[in-house]
Amino acid sequence: MFSNTQESAEYKLILLYIFNQFSIPLTNTQVMDFVLEKDYMNYFFLQQSLGELASSGMLEYSKSNEDFFYLITEKGEKTLQYFIERLNNDLRKDLEKAITIKKQIIQREMKIVADYIKENDTEYIVDLKIIENNIKLIDIKLNVISNKHAKQICKKWKLEAPYLYGDIIKLLVDED
């Protein structure tokens, strides 16, 4: 399918770079929209590269609710670190700029919920959620001992939910 091995390797490095920079799980549709919109590669190269990266263990392909997500694995991160210099600086800068813009769009499409209620004098229940397109991606309830902790957790969740969600998924699916 690829015209040469160097082209195949570059496409895979581009994808690893994209997943590493996004640092949140992405659906096939989200990746496809981003890559095709910026013309980094065509649909067929994209799908072949994703499949090969997943089968080699550099990307994890997992299910959350009804959607399937890709995320970079530790093996993928190490491979990227080793070969990152093969991506020229202009391409990396272009990717970083485009990813920053796309991340903002994705975050606006997500509804991030962080609330807490007082159960009794020494117990607060913190409710944390991420909802995307009316689908709950994650719903966590935490029991904490103080109003201060509940407020801190809610504040951090509102600021960092997509990244925390990505970290949680990574921790749950990474094989050591």
Q: Domain end: 57, 89, 108, which one? A: 108
| Residues 81 and 115 occupy one common structural domain | no
Same domain, 39 and 77: yes
Residue 66: give its domain's CATH number.
Answer: 1.10.10.10
pLDDT in tens, 65-87: 556 788 899 999 999 999 999 99
* Burial class (CB within 10 angstroms; exposed 0-12, middle 13-18, buried 19+) of 100: exposed
**How many Å separate Cα 94 from the centre of its chain?**
19
Number of structural domains, the chain? 2
Judgement on whether residues 81 and 133 belong to the same structural domain of the protein: no
* Domain closes at, from 76, 108, 140: 108
Rounded CA gap, 111 and 136, in Å?
Answer: 9
What domain range includes position 114? 110-173
> In angstroms, rounded to a whole number, what is the distance separating the alpha carbons of residues 84 and 13?
7
Least confident segment among 56-60, 129-133, 145-149: 129-133
Q: Are residues 94 and 148 in the same domain?
A: no
Supply the pLDDT for residue 66.
59
118 and 92 in one domain? no
pTM, whole model, 2 decimals?
Answer: 0.67
Q: What is the per-residue pLDDT across 34-67, written as a single tens digit (0 to 9) for each?
A: 999 988 999 999 999 999 999 999 998 876 555 6
Burial class (CB within 10 angstroms; exposed 0-12, middle 13-18, buried 19+) of 118: exposed
- Whether residues 90 and 154 share a domain: the answer is no
Give 85's DSSP letter: G
Q: What is the pLDDT of residue 2?
A: 47
